[in-house]
Copies of this chain bind each other. A is one copy, B any other.
Amino acid sequence: MELGLVGLGKMGGNMRERIRRAGHTVIGYDRNPDLADAASLEELVSQLQGPRVVWVMVPAGAATQSTIDELGSLLSPGDVVIDGGNSRWTDDEKHAAELADKGIGFVDCGVSGGVWGLENGYALMYGGDSEHVAKAQPIFDALKPPGDLGAVHAGKVGAGHFAKMVHNGIEYAMMQAFAEGWELLEAVDSVTDVREVFRNWQEGTVIRSWLLDLAVRALDDDEHLEKLRGFAQDSGEGRWTVEAAIDHAVPLPAITASLFARFGSRQDDSPSMKMIAALRNQFGGHAVESSKK
């Protein structure tokens, strides 16, 4: 089938390649003309035969909103827009309604796979009406990993991004689990080869997992991670997971601890710990250390 693909960055570019390898036609658009197949969104739309399917793979927020707005004015009733970016699930219902007013379908799709997706396939979680999902099914089949698993129609509009968001929340806490365990093993004298412990955990243990495999790869590059700074960004989904949990009064202690650990990793000095130091000094006369600045 034919697909219009908007956004040809690291993710979008690889996805185009994987879809083409499956025998489909992809017309890609990107603001960077060196990456693009069509010179404009208008040209992209004009080159597709209806009913059209256009996959949006641009940064969440303003870029996604303006792309969907423009597609809304270019596409025709019966066409379908898929938002495959990292949009917050709360945006999906709004986007679906805006497009539905023009007879255009909408599917939200969370995509997992990162730099490994081109070769291994991308895990897909999508939400929306079955008739809209059906139009995009050949593309989902091309992107997903081989076998029966890796792509799921999770529910209504928004369910795809919601499921992907929770996936990332779980990912945060799993990463934190390995990170805490690694730090503790590195802290004791009796365990003399932490990397070999991690490596051998890959078989027969309860914690065997792809993240463990990746941890071993990282330790093979740099046994004690001495080259790295303990500085971790977060990309939105972790925050949204906690916010969704608060909305539903669901306690998420491990996932939230993982998010806060990242926040802390980005502070040069901790304001709250300054206050702790100040209070200890006030009541106990405990010594304080001067600011690093």
Interface residues of A (CB under 8 A from B): 10, 89, 112-117, 120-125, 127, 144-145, 147, 149-159, 162-163, 166-193, 196-197, 199-212, 214-215, 217-219, 221-222, 225-234, 239, 241-246, 248-267, 269-286, 288-293
Q: Name the residue of chain B whose CB is nearest to the CB of A117.
A: B204
A115-B284, A184-B169, A257-B257 known; A232+B277 contact, CB < 8 A: yes
Contact partners of A162 in chain B: CB under 8 A: 185, 188, 190-191
Known: A181-B255, A207-B211, A243-B246. 20 other contacts (CB 8 A): A112-B206, A149-B203, A150-B204, A155-B191, A163-B185, A176-B272, A176-B276, A178-B279, A179-B272, A182-B272, A183-B271, A186-B271, A206-B211, A215-B278, A226-B293, A228-B288, A229-B288, A249-B263, A253-B257, A261-B273
Taking the closest CB of chain B, its distance from the CB of A266, in whole angstroms, is 7
For the complex formed, measure the closest distance between the CB of A247 and the CB atoms of chain B, giving whole angstroms.
8
The answer to whether B231 and A289 touch across the interface, beta carbons within 8 angstroms, is yes
Bound Cα distance from A20 to B128, whole angstroms? 55
The 3 closest A-B pairs by CB, nearest first: A209-B209, A230-B273, A123-B204
User: What is the minimal beta-carbon distance from A133 to any residue of chain B, in angstroms?
Assistant: 13
Q: Is the CB of A123 within 8 A of B205?
A: yes
Assuming A114-B206, A197-B163, is B232 touching A179 (CB within 8 A)?
no
| Contact between A152 and B246, CB atoms less than 8 A apart | no
Identity of the chain B residue whose Cβ is nearest the Cβ of A93 in the assembled complex: B190
Q: What is the distance, in angstroms, from A23's C-beta to the closest C-beta of chain B? A: 20
Q: Is the CB of A190 within 8 A of B127?
A: yes
Please state if B248 and A188 are interface contacts (CB–CB under 8 Å): yes
In the complex, the answer to whether A190 meets B249 with C-beta atoms within 8 Å is no
Q: Which of chain B's residues have a CB closer than 8 A to the CB of A125?
A: 197, 200
User: Quick one: which of B239, B249, B255, B274 contacts A180, CB cutoff 8 A?
Assistant: B255
A244 touches B184 (CB 8 A): yes
Name the B residues within 8 Å of A261 (CB-CB).
Answer: 251, 253-254, 270, 272-273, 276
Q: Which residue of B lies closest to A187 (CB)?
A: B248
A269 and B206 within 8 A (CB)? no
A260 touches B270 (CB 8 A): no
